[in-house]
């Protein structure tokens, strides 16, 4: 095992001072070409690379971003990370990932661990539990310490910072409109409880779309999935809730606020003898592997997670590197476009 060379070692070896070596390697004009050459050759030979930690301590910046998400085994978050990585890496930044597992405490711990010098800024989508508790002190504190935060997907009006969102309301309106245009008369929604902001907004879009088409709102057609937070029987729970809902209502189209709800509902519908899309149409939210490979392939609105991720990284890095004091207050929230990807769970408008 060969130990890593340091400036000190090189300096001693070449019988010059540490600062000379440092300057030579950074091509300072204070140093003679001759010395530069000598130092560079030696450095290359011994494969010298500056120590990141020392640089971080010196510069008070680590060139790494902290990403905190509720869950990594989840296609949407995973695409966002890949967008972040992409942008960050190509701009010289690394990415530390912290998982909250939807737990408030873990979110706080992760934030605090990383806030002590490990990262320059955060990209975060808050845990459900945090949303439920409405306790945001950890976020306020890190901003107060001068560490910028970019929120995405699950964002908070209370926190003043850069944000990346999807226009949930407009997108849902669009999705529901699609269903109506394809001939659906009784469209239902499978959504989350209202404390999950994205669920609430998507429900709102659903309601607006109905109003716009002069369709009376039937509260029974809104299924809010109770999240019991016990992964083991969650799926079963989900299935029974959906099956009951389908049995007790006359529905010819369903808008589901995520893939899993959509897929589970399709399965339930199939088991109840419906054929898709003739008897009942489906549109999901968030395009992922499940949608593409479902049977039949699910029409879904794509959130462009990768774009959200790189946008988030871009906003954060810009803020970190901006020396412009006036920009300090100028927080943006960028809305990323969504598309509906038509697959085989919806009818064409003219077929209806």
Query: How many residues lie near a second copy (CB under 8 A)?
Result: 55
- Return the number of the residue (51 or 228) whose C-beta is nearest DNA: 51
User: Is there binding between residue 160 and DNA (CB under 7 A)?
Assistant: no
Region from 103-111, 122-130, 179-187, 242-250 binding a second copy, contact rule CB under 8 A: 103-111
Task: Give the shortest CB-144-to-DNA separation in angstroms.
Answer: 17
Structure tokens at 175: 């999705």
- Return the number of the residue (41 or 54) whose C-beta is nearest a second copy: 54
User: Is there binding between residue 32 and DNA (CB under 7 A)?
Assistant: yes
Q: Which does 346 bind (CB under 5 to 8 A by kind): a second copy, DNA, none?
A: none
Helices (H) and strands (E) in the chain, counts: 14, 12
Picking from 243, 245, 184, the residue whose alpha carbon sits closest to that of residue 210 is 184
Site for a second copy in 236-275 (CB under 8 A): 260, 263-264, 267, 270
Task: Give the shortest CB-1-to-DNA separation in angstroms.
Answer: 14
Contact 256, 280 (CB under 8 A): no
- Per DSSP, the three-state class of 229 is coil
Structure tokens at 273: 């003898």
Q: Is 291 exposed, middle or buried (0-12, 13-18, 19+ CB in 10 A)?
A: buried
User: Is there binding between residue 293 and a second copy (CB under 8 A)?
Assistant: yes
Site for a second copy in 63-102 (CB under 8 A): 64, 72-75, 78-79, 81-82, 85, 89, 94-99
Site for DNA in 33-72 (CB under 7 A): 33-35, 50-51, 54-55, 57-58, 60
Q: Order of strands, edge to edge, in the sheet holding 339-341? A: 222-225, 187-192, 253-256, 281-285, 300-302, 339-341
d(CA 46, CA 237) in angstroms, rounded, equals 61
Structure tokens at 39: 């130092």
User: Is there binding between residue 29 and DNA (CB under 7 A)?
Assistant: yes
- Return the number of the residue (107 or 168) whose C-beta is nearest a second copy: 107
- Return the number of the residue (42 or 46) whose C-beta is nearest a second copy: 46
Contact 66, 117 (CB under 8 A): no
Contact 21, 42 (CB under 8 A): no
Q: Is 29 exposed, middle or buried (0-12, 13-18, 19+ CB in 10 A)?
A: exposed
d(CA 76, CA 287) in angstroms, rounded, equals 8
Which is it for strands 94-99 and 64-69: parallel, antiparallel or unpaired? Answer: parallel
User: Is there binding between residue 334 and DNA (CB under 7 A)?
Assistant: no
Q: Which does 22 bind (CB under 5 to 8 A by kind): a second copy, DNA, none?
A: DNA
d(CA 317, CA 64) in angstroms, rounded, equals 10
Task: Give the shortest CB-43-to-DNA separation in angstroms.
Answer: 10
Q: Which residues bind DNA (CB under 7 A)?
A: 6-8, 15-20, 22-23, 25-26, 29-35, 50-51, 54-55, 57-58, 60
Q: Which residues bind a second copy (CB under 8 A)?
A: 1-4, 47, 49-54, 56-57, 62, 64, 72-75, 78-79, 81-82, 85, 89, 94-99, 106, 109-110, 112-118, 141, 144-146, 260, 263-264, 267, 270, 289-290, 293-295
């Amino acid at each position: 095992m060969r130990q890593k060379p340091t400036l000190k070692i090189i300096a001693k070896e070449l019988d010059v001072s540490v600062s000379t070596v440092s300057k030579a390697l950074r091509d300072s004009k204070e140093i003679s070409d001759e010395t530069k050459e000598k130092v560079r050759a030696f450095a290359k030979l011994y494969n010298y690379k500056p120590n990141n930690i020392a640089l971080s301590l010196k510069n008070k910046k680590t060139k790494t971003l902290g990403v905190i998400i509720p869950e990594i085994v989840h296609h949407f978050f995973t695409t966002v990370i890949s967008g972040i990585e992409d942008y960050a890496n190509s701009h010289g930044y690394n990415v530390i990932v912290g998982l909250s597992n939807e737990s408030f405490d873990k979110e706080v711990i992760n934030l605090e661990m990383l806030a002590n010098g490990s990262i320059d800024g955060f990209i975060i989508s808050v845990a459900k539990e945090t949303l439920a508790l409405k306790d945001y002190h950890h976020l306020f504190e890190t901003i107060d310490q001068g560490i910028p935060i970019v929120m995405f997907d699950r964002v908070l009006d209370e926190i003043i910072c850069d944000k990346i969102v999807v226009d949930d309301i407009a997108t849902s309106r669009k999705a529901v409109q699609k269903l109506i245009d394809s001939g659906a008369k009784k469209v239902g929604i499978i959504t989350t409880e209202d404390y999950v902001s994205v669920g609430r907004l998507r429900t709102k879009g659903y309601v607006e779309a109905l109003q716009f088409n002069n369709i009376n709102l039937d509260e029974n057609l809104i299924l809010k999935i109770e999240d019991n937070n016990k992964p083991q029987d969650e799926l079963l729970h989900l299935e029974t809730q959906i099956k009951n809902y389908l049995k007790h209502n006359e529905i010819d189209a369903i808008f589901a606020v995520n893939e899993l709800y959509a897929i589970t509902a399709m399965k339930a519908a199939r088991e109840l003898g419906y054929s898709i899309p003739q008897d009942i149409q489906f549109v999901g939210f968030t395009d992922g592997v499940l949608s593409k490979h479902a049977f039949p392939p699910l029409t879904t609105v794509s959130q462009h997670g990768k774009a959200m991720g790189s946008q988030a990284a871009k906003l954060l890095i810009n803020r970190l590197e901006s020396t412009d004091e006036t920009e300090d207050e100028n927080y943006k929230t960028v809305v990323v476009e969504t598309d509906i990807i038509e697959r085989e769970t919806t009818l064409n408008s003219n077929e209806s």
